[in-house]
Amino acid sequence: MPGEGPGVEPETRPSADTLLEFRDVNTYYGDMHALKDVNYTIGRGEIVSLLGGNACGKSTTMKTIMGVVRPTTGTVTFDGVAIEKLPTSERVRRGIVPVLEARRLFPRMTIYENLEMGAYTRKRGAEFDADLDRVYSLFPRVKERQGQLAGTLSGGEQQMVAIGRALMAHPRLICMDEPSMGLSPLYVEQVFDIIQEINRQGTTIFMVEQNANMALSIAHRAYVLQTGQVVLSGTADELRENPMIREAYLGEMQA
């Protein structure tokens, strides 16, 4: 399977454009080989999406980027610096900020406090207020409800706060794990609009998403992961036309 299809990138891009890079990463859980010789290159200003079925290594990829799981071999570089030995908190400080699967807000804190927690690694000052304004202008509803406890919000509103909280950390790379999960169709559209807007404002986005149709509609490039291996990569347009993708991930095969 590897090496087939269009757009498999054999060469690495010039490092000046590269924000995050995985080179020959192997990750194990005990005996289980979760990532096999995985290479990703995420350029500055890109939206890159990671597709794949369940249990194929998407979450492990996220955990490896954030430092929750350490790769057994291989290197992960961010902005040209090897980060695979850094703790999660240091990675956040350097600008890699997650939006976690299932939101994971602090349910008994208010929305405002949740946003404050997003800026935890930074000094409070004029910049904090500017960031807060930016979040409130992206999500007017969040501003309306800033005193409400986060646990009382609906799933869609929680996702807005989760993205807002990530923005408060002043990210250079936002890693999103299934941003559309459990959301109504209307909210799914809104969330993807917001992701595109944040990217337009200059933040690089790496996104794991099951809703391949939506993901490919906003991503510049995508990787396809199967049982821990990258089997396909290319621009979103290329992948949308790929028959294997259409069948396995877009659900277009006829019964």
Partner 1 sequence: MKALDAMFTSIAVRPFAGMAPERRRALGLLVLAAVLLAFPYIHDNDGDIDSAANAMSYAVLALGLNIVVGFAGLLDLGYAAFFAIGAYYYGIFSSFQVMPPWSGFWDPFAMLGLVEKINRGGPDLVHFTLSFWLALPTAAVVTAFFGILFGAPTLRLRGDYLAIVTLGFGEIVPIVARNVDSVTNGAAGLNGIQAPKLFGHSFGVSATPYYYVGLALVALLIFVSLRLRDSRIGRAWMAIREDATAASAMGINLTRFKLMAFAIGAAFAGMTGVYFVAKLQTATPEMFNFAVSSMLLVMVVLGGMGSVWGVVLGAVLLQLLQTWFLPELTGWVHQLGAALGAPLLQQIDFVNSTQLIFGVILVVMMLFRRDGLIPATRKMPALSYAAQHAEVRRGGFVNLDRIPRWSPAPGNALEVRGVTVKFGGLVALNAVDLTVPAGGVVAVIGPNGSGKSTLFNVITGLVEANAGSIKFEGAELLGLAPHQVLERGVARTFQNIRLFPNLNVLENVLIGQHARLRSGPFASVLHTPGNRAEEAAATGWAMDIIGLFGNRLMPRIAQTVSGLSYANRRRVEIARALASRPKILLLDEPTAGMNPAETLELAEQIKSLHELGLTILLIEHKLDVVTRLADRVVVLDHGDKIAEGRPDEVRRNEEVLTAYLGRAARAALMEEDHAR
Residue 154 binds partner 1 (CB under 8 A): yes
The pairing of beta strand 229-235 with beta strand 204-208: unpaired
Closer Cβ to partner 1, 42 or 153, answer by number: 153
Using the rule CB under 8 A, is 147 a contact of partner 1? no
Binding mask 185-214 for partner 1 (x = CB under 8 A): xxxxx--------------------xxxx-
Cβ nearer to partner 1, comparing 1 with 130: 1
Give residues 76-135 in contact with partner 1 (rule: CB under 8 A). 102
| Interface region with partner 1, contact rule CB under 8 A, candidates 19-27, 129-137, 168-176, 182-190 | 182-190
Q: Which of 12, 15, 184, 201 binds partner 1 (CB under 8 A)?
A: 184
Options 4, 6, 24, 53; binder of partner 1; rule CB under 8 A: 53
Least Å from the CB of residue 31 to partner 1: 3
Q: How far is the CB of 25 from partner 1 (least distance, A)?
A: 18
Contacts with partner 1 by CB under 8 A lie at 29-33, 51-55, 102, 153-157, 178, 181-189, 210-213, 226-227, 247-251, 253, 255
